[in-house]
Amino acid sequence: MSYVIEMNSIRKEFPGIVANDNITLQLKKGEIHALLGENGAGKSTLMNVLFGLYQPERGEIRVRGEKVEITDPNIANRLGIGMVHQHFMLVDKFTVTENIVMGNEPTKFGVVNIKKAAKEVEAISKRYGLSVDPYAKIENISVGMQQRVEILKTLYRGADILIFDEPTAVLTPQEIQELIGIMKTLVAEGKSIILITHKLKEIMSVCDRCTVIRRGKGIGTVDVSETDQDKLAAMMVGREVNFKVEKTPAIPKETVLAVSDLTVKDSRGVDAVKALNLDIKAGEILGLAGVDGNGQSELIEAITGLRKTDKGSIKLNNKELVGLKPRKVTESGIGHIPEDRHKHGLVLDFSIGENIVLQTYYQQPYSKNTVLNYPNIFKKAKDLIEDYDVRTPSEHTPARALSGGNQQKAIIAREVDRSPDFLIAAQPTRGLDVGAIESIHKRLISERDKGRAVLLMSLELDEILNVSDRIAVMYEGQIVDIVDADKTNEKELGLLMAGGKKEKAGEAK
């Protein structure tokens, strides 16, 4: 057999958990092989074992038939294994060439021979159709370009086995198409590719075979041509998944949030939201779809007062929010489950109790005349922990000690408990397992049924399609279209997300 990589019966333990349990992955020469699994299933651990960052407890690795011990990334490099990291490993202030050659620089009289290096980079980039300017600084080129540099880094070192770690998460649809083209060119040139992903569509369109892992266990390897998305999904989750969520049709009432003509700048001073209009009604869930980086985060930050509004108005129950401080916005009746729960949602070293009053600590009964009332704070926390089924040893436990799902439940408890008229849920299920996802979706729908307006922002189309009542698609800072969730499909949304406005607009209504 001509396997270039064989990872046989790999087992990797961390204190308290088995991250990889008896996983086998075999990569044929010249194929694109998908590694599929839910968040936390153990994909990254397995690849870090292959790349030499972790040592497995059991199992063997063979490269081109020979048994090897990969104890650090240098050995992986020498074996021709290259990794295209999800979070780019690039020095912003260096040029493309400097990033590619560092650690392995051509020299002339002890000086880095940048000219020669740039020429080599140019030659490789031509050969694989990866055009980049070798003298450009990383901080000045687009995300798609930066990814090319990541690929070039591995090729410059002579890698012929490339691992792509969730490479499409940060790309626009066009960039994804380009990347697929690049991957096909690489394979045609004799390279072999492992693609780590949890996106079924990508696997169907580009991969030859697919290895599925679930909760650290190897489930099996299938030929992509002999399977379909539903079968892959079932393998990944472990049961027939009908991602459809049980819900009754929405009964939308009056408009709660009215955004009109809103323009917001991002942190670099570029317009991220451009003259945007959007209405959300009581009793409905509005899904906000779009490729990452099309202004969704900026829109939410503007609504919640975390980002300055450039122009336009945001009205909650006919009251203007623009110009209000975040605290006033919160007080006027907005709940916000933030995108990044560790960065924004929680103070990880505070106890659950202290986190529960993060926005209300200054109000009675949690404090009086600026003096905190801990008994009341912890009593409230205890109640919410019970009501929302947050699994924690106690309300005094630091938030850090909880699992991701339970941290998210604590945040949702806090935000929902304030009974806001308008609830924002930004990527509420990112990184969670299917069980937690289902419970969070149910919670959002029950809030809707209580008559609240819900804005659900997600990068996962499935989530948007299943939970929302209406779907607004955002592209380059504008809403390109709003469609009814039960009258649309993934394909149509995908087109809209790529900016395809005109053709679809008529049909959707």
Partner 1 sequence: MAKLLPKGRLLSWSIPLIAVFLGIFIGAIIMLVSGYNPITGYSALIRGIFSDSYYLGETVRMMTPLILAGLAVAFAFRTGLLNIGVEGQLIVGWLASVYVGITFDLPAVLHLPMAILAGALAGALWGFIPGLLKAKFQVHEVIVTIMMNYIALYTANAIIRSYLLVPGERTGSINQSASLSSPLLQSLTDYSRLHWGFVVAVLACLIMWFILWRTTKGYELRAVGLNQHASQYAGMNVQRNIILSMLISGGFAGVAGAMEGLGTYGYMSILSGFSGLGFDGIAVALLGANTAVGVLLASFLFGGLKIGALNMQSQAGVPTELVEIVIALIIFFVASSYIIRWVMNRVKKEDI
Partner 2 sequence: MDIMQILSLVIPAAIFAAAPLILTALGGLFSERAGVVNIGLEGLMVMGAFTAIITTLTLEGMGMSGMMVIILALIISILIGSVFSLFHAVASITFRADQIVSGVALNFLAVGLTVFLVRLLYNKGQTDYISNRIYRMDVPVLSDIPFIGPLFFSSAYVTSYVAILLAVVVYFIVFYTPFGLRLRSVGEHPMAADTMGINVNRMRYIGVMLSGAFAGLGGAVFALTVTGNFSGTTIVGQGFMALAALIFGKWNPLGALGAALFFGLAQALSITGQQIPLLSDVPPVFLLIAPYVLTILALAGFVGRAEGPKAIGKPYIKGSR
Report the DSSP pairing between strands 209-214 and 32-36: parallel
Is 68 a binder of partner 2 (CB under 8 A)?
A: no
Q: Does 336 bind partner 1 (CB under 8 A)?
A: yes
C-beta of 326 vs 494, nearer to partner 1: 326
Contact of residue 344 among partner 2, partner 1, none (CB under 5-8 Å per partner type): partner 1
Q: Give the total of residues touching partner 1 (CB under 8 A).
A: 34
Is 73 among the residues that bind partner 2 (CB under 8 A)?
A: yes
Q: Is 87 in the site for partner 2 (CB under 8 A)?
A: yes
Establish if 143 lies at the interface with partner 2 (CB under 8 A): no
Q: Give the shortest CB-378-to-partner 1 separation in angstroms.
A: 8
In terms of Cα–Cα distance, which of 455, 422, 434 is closest to 330?
422
Does residue 72 belong to the site contacting partner 1 (CB under 8 A)?
no
CB of 78 to partner 2, least distance (A): 9
241 is a site residue for partner 2 (CB under 8 A): no
Residue with tokens 């990944």: 236
DSSP 56-113: -SEEEEEETTEEE---SHHHHHHTTEEEE-SS----TTSBHHHHHHTTS--EETTEE-
Find the helix or strand (DSSP H, E) in which 288 lies.
strand 285-289
Pairing relation of β-strands 192-197 and 32-36?
parallel
Give the one residue of 150, 202, 354, 447 binding partner 1; rule: CB under 8 A.
Answer: 354
Q: Which two tokens stand for residue 271?
A: 């317009």
Establish if 339 lies at the interface with partner 2 (CB under 8 A).
Answer: no
Burial 159-182 (b: 16+ CB within 10 A, else e): bbbbbbbbbbebbbbebbebbbeb
- Binding segment (CB under 8 A) for partner 2, from list 89-97, 414-422, 460-468, 486-494: 89-97
Partner whose footprint covers residue 505, from partner 1, partner 2, none (CB < 5 to 8 Å by kind): none
Least separation, in Å, of the C-beta of 428 and partner 2? 22
Report the relative pairing of strands 478-484 and 319-320 from DSSP bridges: unpaired
- DSSP 3-state of 368: strand
Least spacing, CB of residue 343 vs partner 1, in Å: 5
**What does 370 interact with, of partner 2, partner 1, none (CB < 5 to 8 A by kind)?**
partner 1
Taking the complex as a whole, how short is the minimal distance between the CB of residue 108 and partner 2, in angstroms?
10
> Strands, DSSP E only, in 73-230?
81-84, 107-108, 111-112, 161-165, 192-197, 209-214, 217-223
391 binds partner 1 (CB under 8 A): no
Residue 391 near which of partner 1, partner 2, none (CB within 5-8 Å, type-dependent): none
- The alpha carbon torsion through 145, 501, 430, 383 (nearest 10 deg) reads 150
Q: Which stretch binds partner 1 (CB under 8 A): 99-107, 112-120, 330-338, 447-455?
A: 330-338
110 lies in the binding site for partner 2 (CB under 8 A): yes
20, 99, 125, 172: which one contacts partner 2 (CB under 8 A)?
99
Q: Is 153 in the site for partner 2 (CB under 8 A)?
A: yes
Nearest to 83 by CA among 70, 66, 95: 70
Residue 174 lies near partner 2 (rule: CB under 8 A): no
- Quick one: tokens of 474? 């955002």
Q: Is 57 near partner 1 (CB under 8 A)?
A: no
Residue 102 within binding range of partner 2, rule CB under 8 A = yes
Tell me if the bond preceding 167 is cis, omega within 30° of 0.
Answer: no
- Partner whose footprint covers residue 94, from partner 2, partner 1, none (CB < 5 to 8 Å by kind): partner 2
Contact partners, residue 87, CB within 8 Å, separation at least 6: none
Residues 6 or more apart in contact with residue 440 via CB below 8 angstroms: 408, 409, 412, 428, 429, 432
The first and second tokens of residue 114, run together, are 């940048």
Segment near partner 2 (CB under 8 A); pick from 98-106, 235-243, 255-263, 393-401: 98-106
**Could you tell me if 461 and 493 are in contact, meaning their C-beta atoms sit under 8 angstroms apart?**
yes
Q: Which range binds partner 1 by CB under 8 A, 18-26, 131-139, 271-279, 337-345?
A: 337-345
Find where tokens 């804005």 sit: 455
| # residues near partner 2 by CB under 8 A | 26
C-alpha to C-alpha distance for 409 and 337, rounded to whole angstroms: 10
Which class for 432: exposed (0-12), middle (13-18), buried (19 or more C-beta within 10 A)?
buried
Establish if 362 lies at the interface with partner 1 (CB under 8 A): yes
| Dist CA 349 CA 372 (whole Å) | 18
Shortest distance (Å) from residue 79 CB to partner 2: 13
User: Minimal distance in Å, beta carbon 19 to partner 2?
Assistant: 12
For residue 155, the minimal CB distance to partner 2 (Å) is: 13
CB of 368 to partner 1, least distance (A): 10
What x/- string results for residues 357 through 396 when contact with partner 2 is judged by CB under 8 A? Answer: ----------------------------------------
398 binds partner 1 (CB under 8 A): yes
434-449 and 404-417 helices, crossing angle to 10°: 10
Q: Interface with partner 2 by CB under 8 A: which residues?
A: 48, 53-54, 73-74, 77, 83, 85, 87, 89-94, 98-99, 102-105, 107, 110-112, 153
Q: Interface with partner 1 by CB under 8 A: which residues?
A: 304, 306, 325-330, 336, 338, 340, 343-351, 354, 358-359, 361-362, 367, 370-372, 374, 378, 396-398
